[in-house]
Structure 1
Amino acid sequence: MKYYSTNGSSPEMSFREAVIKGLPHDQGLFFPKEIPTLPADFFDRLPSLSLPQTAVEVLQPYVSPDLSPEALRQICEEVFTFQIPLVEVEKDMYALELFHGPTCAFKDVGARFMSRCLQAFTGKDKRVTVLVATSGDTGSAVANGFLGLENIDVVVLYPENGVSPIQEMQFATLGQNISAVAINGTFDDCQRLVKEAFTDPELNKARNLSSANSINVARWLPQMVYYFHAWGQWKKLNSNATEITVSVPSGNFGNLAAGLLARQMGLPVTYFVAATNRNRIVPAYLETGQYSPAPSVATIANAMDVGNPNNFPRIQEMFGANLESLKEVVKGFWADDEEIKGTIKLVHQTTGYPLDPHGAIGYLSLRQLLPELHTPGIFLETAHPAKFKDSMEEVLGQEVPLPEQLKAFLGKQKQVTELPNDFAGLKLLLMQEHKEGTL
């Protein structure tokens, strides 16, 4: 498989080259030159396939020939070691629980897959620095996925006071080959600094940079797997049903882009919902036809506080930048903090199910849209509710217990470098650490 840039002025690259490079030099996004269609018998077998088996069949065309079938199988068996269950919350409404991995967030899938790919592609004599911006869960998933890997350093940029305390503990207390950098700004600022780093020739020559945000194809592509897995579980429960709507809580839009790519491969999802918080750039575009990125707004669903979604160009690429074609498949929805809090409280009271703030938006979108779409619905529970412990306890009025994965980070000492919101400071830090060999 070859990958081209969505901006059209970078050379095509192999999967291996695209993973190591991270971002094309023209600041587009790598996109597969071909989108394979899966055979009908795959969908017949899908309800009985394990997660690793599903992953191998879905991802093989995208990684060949850079990963052999055996190498891909080994990676998938190392990555997909936890359950991703589909849970019925109420009639015709299901939650896909993506929080049973090591850091209790959906990004465990992509981060773990990418770490194994990058380790396979980088030699022992060539050190790589993975630079990643996070609004919460990306940092913890990437840091823990890469922790202790030889010849790979990870630098996590995050907005100071812009992630939950537990999220911060998950990447700021690790040490070893993981460095945490708090930026005096927003997630969009952190994302901009990462892009600037990739276009700085001196820094790239010194640090051999790669990205672990969902702009990297090895982070983005494996997210397709759980959409297929969800459909297989749903068919077990609803063997005669033919249509389904999937609501995706969206911030940077890599998750939704992965679901839409799965649909283009043949996954029979009728509609997707782009469900956002007050950072409603894409829902507004679907409504007005005007795409207008804006400064991000802080909300209770902090992992989705993105005012300039990095992955939206991939969605545009799939639909040929045709708004009407996009609107036939993708429906927009957004909710403010009070609606999110009210939904968490109501669902817990009526069903006992503890929605996290992001999943609550997905649930609420289905409650409002399914009557007109006339299908059952699946919403993605992207993170464990306990990752937002303070907010959840305030809404529910009761303690939210921590799972064992999160308890492990309590009481550890944070190791954080604070920087102003400018590229010069970040470059100086990275160049100094390169010269001193501290990373």
Structure 2
Amino acid sequence: MKYFSLNNRDHRSTFENAVIKGLAPDKGLYFPEEIARLPVSFFEELHSLSKSEIAHTVIKDYIGDEIPEQELLGIIEHTLDFDFPVIPVEKNIQVLELFHGPTKAFKDVGARFMAGCLGYFIKKGNLGKITVLVATSGDTGGAVANGFLGVEGIDVVILYPKGKVSEIQEKQLTTLGQNIVALEVDGAFDDCQDMVKRAFLDAEIQDKRQLTSANSINVARWLPQMFYYFIAVQQLQLNNKKVVFSVPSGNFGNICAGMLAAKMGLSIHHFVASSNANNVVDRYLASEKFEPKPSVQTISNAMDVGNPSNFIRVQELFQQTFTGLKEKLSSYSFTDLETENTMRKVFKEANYVLDPHGAVGYLGLQKFLATNLDYMGVFLETAHPVKFLETVEKAIGEKLEIPASIQAVMDKEKKAILIKDYKELKSFLLS
């Protein structure tokens, strides 16, 4: 498998180079040259396969022989060593829980898989030390910090917006130490992301450090998110209904991975991009104009993205045709008040605790199903509710039990370096 740049289709890359570099030389996102449909026999046997068997079949063509089969299986088994249950919430609505990993967020899958791949490539070659530079609006930072903790040959530098992530999210990315450094940025997530992109363009930094990104722009972070869509469909009783997945959407890597799974033959008939006030894609589907705006702070902070990087990949899956995309994607946005009311309502009526992002996913699914009665819906609960403790407890009027793994982090001391602008980031990276 080769990968091309979405800025320059003549540029080709191996999987290894795409993982190590993160972005193409022209700073375009990498995209696979071919998306092959999986054989019918695989889907006929899906119900009887293990998580690792499913994942290996799904990912192997995107890696080819660049990672030996036994090494790849080991990476997959470590990545998926927790559960991905699908649970009924109400008639026609089910939830896929993605928070049973070490940092209680869906990003554990991509971060662990990428750490395994990058760790293998470092052991295999003479790459020297690599710096993983990543911006986070919430859960990416904790998942990347945990996934790369102690991996030999890798330093991790995480930028996060001051005062705009939850206390637990902040603790998860600022308390680990070792090869993990957290930079607290006096600004919004978009400022963090812009600084990271600028660093990748800075020849002076590139001469000093070998940078790669662990955001979902990196193919090794993006592609493995397909795994849990297959694992979810394996658990569904379809009863002749079509399937729609509602995905809380910020940078659009998660929903893009689901759409890629559907292109490979997985039985998902439609997607809903559920967003908060940062509704650039909602507006695009209504107007056909993609107009990024500065992000707005909300209680579903991991989706506070004003210019979603992965949306260009979504468009590429549909050959850049607006009509083809609109047939398979709906998008709705919701206010914080609607989100809070939904957390309260679902807890009262179904005794199920939603986090703010899952609540937005539920709302989007409910809106779609209201006019599409022949569908069964699944929404993604992307993070454990306890990660947004104050918001959730206020909404449902109950105290949440804090898991032991989270409590252990809360008792640790925060260590972060405050920076104001790109000049200070550059100074840090060159020091």
TM-score normalised per structure 2: 0.98
Aligned partners of 2:372 and 2:417: how far apart in 1? Answer: 48
Whichever residue aligns with residue 340 of structure 1, its letter is T
In structure 1, C-alpha distance between the alignment counterparts of 2:250 and 2:269, rounded to whole Å: 22
| Counterpart in the other structure of 2:159 | 157
Equivalent AA in structure 2 for residue 95 of structure 1:
V
**Is the deviation greater in 278-287 or in 117-126?**
117-126
4+ residue runs of structure 1 moved beyond 2 angstroms?
none
**Structure 2 counterpart SS, 1:119:** helix
Residue number in structure 2 paired with 1:386: 386
Q: How much has 1:419 moved relative to structure 2?
A: 0.4
Residue 241 of structure 1, CA deviation: 2.4
Residues paired across the two proteins, number:
428
Match of residue 367 from structure 1: 366
Map of 1:40-439 to 2, 5 A cutoff? 40-123=40-123, 126-234=128-236, 237-238=237-238, 240-374=239-373, 375-420=375-420, 422-432=421-431
How far did 1:324 drift?
1.1
Shift of 1:338: 0.4
Q: Contact 2:184/2:418 (CA < 8 Å) preserved in 1?
A: yes
CA positional deviation for 1:202: 1.7
Where 2:313 maps in the other structure, the secondary structure is helix
Letter in 2 for 1:273: V
Residue pair 1:10, 1:26 contacting (<8 A) in 2 also: no
Shift of 1:11: 2.4
Q: Give 1:175's aligned amino acid.
A: G
Aligned counterparts of 1:348 and 1:48: Cα–Cα separation in 2:
34
Tell me the amino acid that sits aligned with residue 3 of structure 1.
Y
- Tell me by how many angstroms 1:373 deviates: 2.0
1:352-379: CA deviations, max 9, x gaps?
Answer: 0001100111111111111322201000
Q: Deviations over 1:181-233 (max 9, x none)?
A: 01111111111111111111121121100110000000000000100111110
Amino acid at match of 1:71: E
Deviation at 1:9, TM superposition (A): 6.1
Equivalent residue letter for 1:385 = P
SS in 1 for 2:132: strand
Instruction: Return 30-39 or 199-208, whichever deviates more.
Output: 199-208
Q: Is the 8 A contact 1:155 1:180 kept in 2?
A: yes
Q: What letter is aligned with 2:181?
A: S
Q: 1:403: Cα distance to partner?
A: 1.4
Q: Any idea what SS the aligned residue of 2:37 has? A: coil
Question: 2-side partners of 1:242 and 1:32: how far apart?
Answer: 31
CA drift at 1:67: 1.2
- AA aligned to 1:394 is K
For the residues of structure 1 that align with 2:192 and 2:137, how far apart are their CA atoms?
9
Alpha-carbon distance in structure 1 between the residues aligned to 2:241 and 2:276: 30
User: Match for 1:214: what amino acid?
Assistant: S
Cα separation, 1, equivalents of 2:333 and 2:48: 35
Aligned with 1:38: secondary structure?
coil
- Contact 1:104–1:405 (CA under 8 A) maintained in structure 2: no
Q: Counterpart of 1:231 in structure 2: which amino acid?
A: V
User: What 5-or-longer segments of structure 1 have no aligned partner?
Assistant: 433-439
1:31 maps to 2:27: no
* 8 Å Cα contact 1:156-1:181 kept in structure 2: yes
Distance 1:10 1:248 in 2: 33
Moved more, 119-128 or 196-205: 119-128
| Equivalent residues of 1:132, 1:212 under 8 A apart | yes
Q: Match of 2:400, SS?
A: coil
- Structure 2: distance between partners of 1:253 and 1:405: 28
Cα deviation code 1:120-144 (max 9, x no counterpart)? 0114751100000000000000000
Conserved? CA contact 2:46–2:54, under 8 Å: yes
Equivalents in 2 of 1:9, 1:50: separation in Å? Answer: 36
CA distance in 2, matches of 1:10, 1:139: 33
Q: In structure 2, what residue type is equivalent to 1:329?
A: K
CA distance in 1, matches of 2:102, 2:362: 24
The one-letter code of the counterpart of 1:132 is V
| CA deviation string 1:225-245 (max 9, x = no partner) | 1001111101xx33x424101
Shift in alpha-carbon separation, 1:156–1:10, aligned structure 2, 3 A: farther
- What corresponds to 2:5 in structure 1? 5
Cα deviation for residue 382 of structure 1 reads 0.2
Give the C-alpha shift of residue 72 in structure 1: 1.2
Could you tell me the TM-score, scaled by structure 1's length? Answer: 0.96
- Whole-Å Cα distance in 2 between the matches of residues 50 and 386 of structure 1? 29
Match of residue 437 from structure 1: none
Superimposed CA distance per residue, residues 81-113 of structure 1 (whole angstroms, 9 cap, x where no aligned partner): 000000011111100000000000000000000
Mapped partners of 1:38, 1:355: distance in 2: 34
**What percentage of aligned pairs have identical amino acids?**
50
Unaligned runs of 5+ in 2: none
State the 1:68 CA deviation.
Answer: 2.0
Conserved 8 A contact 1:9-1:26? no
CA–CA distance in structure 2, aligned partners of residues 299 and 119 of structure 1:
35
Q: CA deviation at 1:10?
A: 6.7
Asked if the contact 1:273/1:332 (under 8 Å) is kept, the reply is yes
SS at match of 1:209: strand
C-alpha distance in 2 between matches for 1:105 and 1:34: 30
